Structure 1
Amino acid sequence: MRNLGEAVKADGTLDDQRIWRREPMYQGMNGRWVERFYIDPEHSYIFKPLTNGESVDREAWVNRNMLTQLPEISVPQLLAASPEGKGTEGWTIFEDLGALRHEYRLEYAQAAARQVARLHAAPAEHWPGLTSQGPKPGIEAIAADVLRRREEARAILDGHGLPVQWLDAENVDAVRDGHGFRVNHQVLSHGDLHLGNYAVTEAGRVILLDWEHAHRNLPYWDLYHLIDMSHPRFPKRMPAEDRLKLLDTYLEEADKQGTAWTRDDRVREYARFAAIFSLWMLLLIEGDLQRGGGVWTIEGLLRQREETADSLAGCLELLENQGSI
């Protein structure tokens, strides 16, 4: 088959008449399946339909316009994609890198952190088509929501044995009002770099996946997702020593890329950002549990709640050690 797009029907689904075999891999948020398909027994590819309605055309755009100019970022090669404007019938086809592992190990996360630092060092103004709209509200809106739901947030802190007075200090207010961070410039952001969106290939290569939420944001956004974001489908515990090692890995690579940051300030600001985000995530998780789980399993949400509370505790301890509580 000369053109891989010939394997896809007009409605954006694989054409069984033009492929040899297909294997479902995982289901997206909108119910559509990412699949491995074969055009013959020797050649396989990854078919990814639009799996999130908020990201129409974005992943293909990022691969074509941005990632091709950033060879230091390791990603699967985009081989074909639907024309822009296909909406819910949009699709992409990527090279098949074989079995991928989504497991937390410090060395894998450090490899991802170095790539994130290189991504953040790229001049964002070169890609004006990439907006500041990501998959979630910005950190200022997140902080505002935490304060609006202050009593719920206090109950969560108290329920996990965490210092309630932190919420009543100026940390969250300052972030809500837009002056909680000295680093306030936006960088190119992957947008959703939790453990499910980076992986290790059979050859030991760490790759960054699923760029449909790429946007511009503070550098702490990607760092939080990489380090402290938990997920219902991908178990992960973050030891306190690993948190600092990952931050140091990122800062060392950022320095090599020409962005020299003061370590203590960046660690303090990261901890503040991550604590606010984790508390907001706990509010969301409680809501999901009350609704019966939604697209997630109750077991996965309970584990995510425990992991997120642990991360919140670790970040608050880091802030206390930095004299910020």
Structure 2
Amino acid sequence: MKPTNLDWTQLVRPNGQLNREMTSHIEILYTGLHGQSVQRFRLKDGNRYIYKPLPPGDDRFREIQAYLQVMPLLSELAQPPAYPALIAYAAPAEQLDILHESMLASVAAVEESMVVLSHPVGWIVTEDIGVLEHRHSSAVLEQVIDQMAGWHTVAAHHLTRLPQTGQKPPLPIASSSLLERWEQVQAVMQEIALSIHASAAHANDTFPSCCEPLPHVSEQLLLALQHHIYEATERIAAQPSVLLHGDLHAGNYGVNPQGTMIILDWEHSHAGSLFWDLYHLIDLSHPLFPREMTAELRHSLLKRYWVASGSGKAIAATHSQRYPVVLRAYNTFAEFEKDYLLYAIIYSIWMLLLIQNDLRQQPPIWPHALLLAQQAETQQHMEQCLAVWQDTYPAE
């Protein structure tokens, strides 16, 4: 709900801070790596909103772009995902002009319902959808999977003006970087497994078998994996793109007090492989949002996506043409799951190398304890995927 009789030009001061003469009960929700805080505040009329300053850098307006360009597409779905409505946004005048010029049709469709301001700093105000419970339970993951299957059906012609890459390099680049330094990959995998094993032994913990050092990864299996990485990368990269949320860690989805699943922060939405959203939700690690995953739950979630998308022939014929066209490349769920496992293995190994680099940085991006936990989780997920791939889809 947009408040009335409000001088929006005074809501945020030139330094980017909320005007405390107009607002009350300001609560910091979190502070990003850029040092700016997202805040819940209340106006004099009693209504609550969320204030989010835009971070520095070239991508600072991606969240506004998502609201103007992506959210109208979501509203056309049979069951659109729930997300906080954009109430107002602001940026320096010249940047607003550039932003609007790049997406005139989208802006014309939605801007009349929003307050748009020229302001020295960039920011947005959204509705307050209440305190969310951020969980990574199987029931929550199933709800997100169902919604994801919907937004992946957005028609291809809408995707041409969206960014074509997200926060991580696209699959061909990630794969090439691994294949070019495969000896380092092997060394890092063994080093991390041994390090985790030693840490657990020192703590007198029972070390999970999934994270044991990798004697079962023979030279033959590594050669087969190299071959299949190249093969899978070519196959997946050739498939049509879908609309991606792009950043599905547990902090970006949650259940509100009314029990509704809310999907937050679409600023990293882009066009790409549907496996990215699946991997981000199921297997990609995050220092602040650890999760537990098993081979059985992973298989169940992938099968749920397969069915929810229509590939499992489980929805009405009238909807059968809405499922992502990329899935038509797979004759069976087994083929689809095999490519997901390879995709997850590729990016998990890539993440292990990235985390190793983060651990060497001074000062570190995240505390070492969080990075080490993220490393162990990534190693576990990678080995789960590798074990299933090896057992279920042995190399020819």
Do both proteins adopt the same fold according to a TM-score greater than 0.5, normalized to the shorter chain?
yes
Structure-2 separation of matches of 1:221 and 1:287: 22
3-state SS in 2 of match to 1:192: coil
Residues 5 and 240 of structure 1: CA distance in aligned 2, closer, same or farther (over 3 Å): farther
The one-letter code matched in structure 1 to 2:229 is: V
Q: CA deviation at 1:11?
A: 4.3
Q: CA deviation at 1:324?
A: 4.2
The one-letter code matched in structure 2 to 1:30 is: H
Q: Paired residue for 2:231?
A: 174
Q: Paired residue for 1:194?
A: 249
8 A contact 2:53–2:122 mirrored in 1: yes
Residues 124 and 82 of structure 1: CA distance in aligned 2, closer, same or farther (over 3 Å): farther
Structure-2 separation of matches of 1:94 and 1:122: 24
Quick check: 1:103 aligned with 2:135? yes
Structure-2 separation of matches of 1:219 and 1:196: 20
Q: Paired residue for 1:119?
A: 151
TM-score normalised by the chain length of structure 2: 0.76
Unaligned runs of 5+ in 2: 100-119, 194-212
Residues 99 and 171 of structure 1: CA distance in aligned 2, closer, same or farther (over 3 Å): same
Structure-1 separation of matches of 2:249 and 2:295: 18
8 A contact 1:29–1:52 mirrored in 2: no
**CA deviations over 1:36-83 (Å, ceiling 9, x no partner):** 111138321111111363422221222223213323122111111125
Residues 8 and 312 of structure 1: CA distance in aligned 2, closer, same or farther (over 3 Å): same
Structure-1 separation of matches of 2:51 and 2:24: 14
Quick check: 1:321 aligned with 2:387? no
8 A contact 1:192–1:225 mirrored in 2: yes
Q: CA deviation at 1:164?
A: 5.7
Quick check: 1:79 aligned with 2:83? no
Query: Once the two structures are aligned, what percentage of the paired residues are identical?
Result: 33
Structure-1 separation of matches of 2:353 and 2:7: 44
Quick check: 1:267 aligned with 2:337? yes
Matches for 1:61-76 after TM superposition, within 5 Å: 61-71=65-75, 72-76=80-84
Structure-1 separation of matches of 2:180 and 2:53: 37
Structure-2 separation of matches of 1:276 and 1:42: 50
Q: CA deviation at 1:318?
A: 2.0
Structure-2 separation of matches of 1:183 and 1:252: 23
Structure-1 separation of matches of 2:49 and 2:167: 27
Unaligned runs of 5+ in 1: none
Residues 185 and 125 of structure 1: CA distance in aligned 2, closer, same or farther (over 3 Å): same
Matches for 1:104-253 after TM superposition, within 5 Å: 104-159=136-191, 160=193, 161-162=213-214, 163=217, 165=219, 166-169=221-224, 170-175=227-232, 178-181=233-236, 184-253=239-308
8 A contact 2:358–2:365 mirrored in 1: no
8 A contact 1:186–1:218 mirrored in 2: yes
8 A contact 2:37–2:52 mirrored in 1: yes
8 A contact 2:31–2:37 mirrored in 1: yes
Residues 293 and 73 of structure 1: CA distance in aligned 2, closer, same or farther (over 3 Å): farther
Quick check: 1:33 aligned with 2:103? no
Q: CA deviation at 1:310?
A: 0.8
Structure-2 separation of matches of 1:107 and 1:194: 15
Deviates more, 1:29-38 or 1:146-155: 146-155
Deviates more, 1:217-226 or 1:249-258: 249-258
Q: CA deviation at 1:158?
A: 2.3
Structure-2 separation of matches of 1:80 and 1:191: 23
Q: CA deviation at 1:182?
A: 8.0
3-state SS in 2 of match to 1:89: coil
Q: CA deviation at 1:183?
A: 6.7
Q: Who wins on radius of gyration, i.e. which is larger?
A: 2
Q: Paired residue for 1:22?
A: 26
Structure-2 separation of matches of 1:287 and 1:48: 30
3-state SS in 2 of match to 1:243: helix
Structure-1 separation of matches of 2:344 and 2:58: 24
**CA deviations over 1:107-161 (Å, ceiling 9, x no partner):** 1011111111111111131243212021121011111111233222101222322
From 288, 293, 309, give the equivalent of 1:254.
309
Residues 27 and 106 of structure 1: CA distance in aligned 2, closer, same or farther (over 3 Å): same
3-state SS in 1 of match to 2:234: coil
Structure-2 separation of matches of 1:295 and 1:137: 19
